[in-house]
Structure 1
Amino acid sequence: MSYVNQILNEVKSKDSHEPEFIQTVTEVLSSLEKVIDCHPQYQEAQLLERLLEPERIVSFRVPWMTDEGKYAVNRGFRVQFNSAIGPYKGGLRFHPSVNQSVMKFLAFEQIFKNSLTGLPIGGGKGGSDFNPKGKSDNEIMRFCQSFMTELYRHIGPNLDIPAGDIGVGSREIGYLYGQYKRITGDFCGVLTGKGLTYGGSLIRTQATGYGIIYLANEVLKARGRSLKKKKLTISGSGNVAIYAAEKAIELGASVIAMCDSNGFIYDKEGLDISIIKEIKEVGYGRIREYVESKPKAEYTEGFKGIWNIPCDIALPCATQNEIDLESAKMLLKNKCWMVCEGSNMPSTLDAMSAFADAGILFIPSKAANAGGVAVSALEMSQNSQRLSWPSEEVDCRLKNIMAEIYQNMAVAAIKYGKSSQDFITGANVTAFLKVADAMMEQGLV
């Protein structure tokens, strides 16, 4: 049995209660067989065993009080997975699905995503099973303050710099930052995704969505194609989905369908993203409200059917495992020829295999959505210098980072015997080698 398969079996046995973590480990290790063969020193140093164990997991209770004066308690987590190439960096997620397996999967993915950016940031992730939906601003503030009252002792601008994720937007970051500053008295870049009035970066809100489109455009340009007149289906309607849609439309594409957790909207003539922004960003409404402004559009309950709409390019930007094998077959049947993952691990392993067998262009999330954390790292740089860069500079840096990710993926895939179109191998190998070599050079860590 090969070293990679041996380690994978050990993880499946040891962490059998953590399916999301096993899934991401399987996806990464399956790409590394030849890399390990070419670098026997990694096996000698038992590097994979060390890489697959988080450096630290912090678990804590988060007590808070409702507006009715009742006590409530949630679980909080911070997984500090790997700091070989820099301080831990990764978002905080507030969602009922949060548990240790989900946190470990996200933190493990973050190691490689951060490595791909070329910036000096390690991998971490955190969050809580708290659900912000239906809560008042005061309840969310009290929860965030309680959460930070424990978390503050485990983070710092040179140790661990959290950001936002699902359920954690600018409002939550503001409450978290205010409590950190209140406790420590330290005004520093300990969180990213901050408001522009207190150290945030221009383009940060748009960065993940824009980055997806910049990378997709690089892939298409290398093949003599473009986004112009292509029909896109995008799941989700948060920041990632909205700004991916905005940038795609700007580059000439037509976004024909989007969704939220209740259902999806479809307009064969193309959606008006300004209306969706008004509904979701200003009014915190549901996407079904779109048809009130555009009665020719169709709304369908249940979001999964969105993958049955014929399109050229699919951008899953909602949550993990939203595309299963059945959904993948729907997309392929309807002639979808490119999938660019916006959310973290949105495709199951079976779905990824189906896409690979069909030979379509498939860009994994750790590469496609790296633009968000890249601009977070740029925000850290601005905070360190006490500067604020203009949006044009941040956007230019983001474009260059995404272009470099594409080039590195294509080169790595070819170097290790794969097609330049095998972006799964290209992304995993590129990211792994940087982290692995840093770990080797730092000794027993």
Structure 2
Amino acid sequence: MANHSQPSGSSSVPMTALWLVIVCGCLISLLSFGPRSILGLFLVPMTETQGWSREVFALALAIQNLMWGLGQPVAGAIADRYGSARVLVFGGFVYAGGLVLMAWAPSPGWLHLSAGIMVGLGMAAASYSIVLAAFGRRVPEEKRPLIFGLGTAAGSMGQFLFAPIGRAFISNYGWEQALVLLGVLMLAIPLLAFALRGRSDQGAVADYIEGQTLTQAVRQAFAHRSYVLLVVGFFVCGFHLAFITAHMPAYLDDLGLDPRLGAWSLALIGLFNIVGALAAGVISSRYSKPIFLALIYLARAVFIALFVFTPATPLTVLLFSAGIGLLWLSTVPPTSALVAIMFGPKYMATLMGIVFLNHQIGAFLGVWLGGRLYDASGSYDVVWYLGIALAIFAAIVHWPIREARADAPIASPAE
């Protein structure tokens, strides 16, 4: 029978070193999430300059989301084996190169390589999933949801800060130079990654099952019903986020609203996402994480429905952006915490990477279907309706998830 270590033992990491890890990790989340969250600002100027359809641009971002998802479990496994810092350094350089190459891309093929494959792989290696896993190895279990919320909120701050920065770059320097400037900023990620060095077996917090291999952990995960439900439900989160991020500016432009409103919408989502992510960390520490996730998705269905069926004005756009921002990445702290509770922190980067892969499959479909159905019908309405239905589905899927170790016995009704 496997030996189980205590999940929430006291940390042996000095507080100064721990806070250095948290600060640098949060800055990495901020930087990596910022540019990719505002690429929708480049849709109209880039397609008009190059004479491409919206589907061409949408397909590039769809490929990006898919590569991010496919690369995440691999990046997580490498981080678990060789350390987070090396993976983050690689991701920062590839991410920067993808943005710079995107500025030059003379054809759809080059756009798909740069904005799609390179930025996607860069995000897989430098995203908040790698950062949160590094946090999980150093933070006691009872504090993880709050720290996960902090790391997630930092990514939201990136979206809030980079939306006006990106808009200013485009207005003052043109979209090509704006992409180059964003790429240069990403070179700070390798410098910050030094603070997150260390492997999964060097963390201050031990894993539950001693001697368990990565292969055994993955097999255990896919045999666990609650983990599978978590994977399935996270698909919907990716669909919502990617569709809105990529198509919101163009959607508002089609409605005849001020083009600057698109940037402010993304910025407001990012601002309220900070509040939502931090609140999610606190709530997840005190209440049922599966039920909280179900309520988040139900709330998304309500906000999207109100937005779609209400006449669009600057006020309704800003109200929707604030509301959906509260629910944006609030799913990440409870989802990450559930993975850590089920299986411990040792292989968290890998197992969370698998969860995130399905998130990115949803993102691929959200971005691509947005462009495909728009070109076919001249409207985004069908995708909005699909988003409402998927939100209700996700709420149903998350409700029965068990918040317990994967190897914990299921209590019988008589107990």
After TM superposition, is the score higher than 0.5?
Answer: no
Which TM-score tier does this pair reach, normalised by the shorter chain?
under 0.3
More contact order relative to length (CA 8 Å, sep ≥ 6): 2
TM-score by length of 1: 0.26
| Structure with a larger share of its residues in helix | 2
Query: Which structure's residues are more often strand, by fraction?
Result: 1
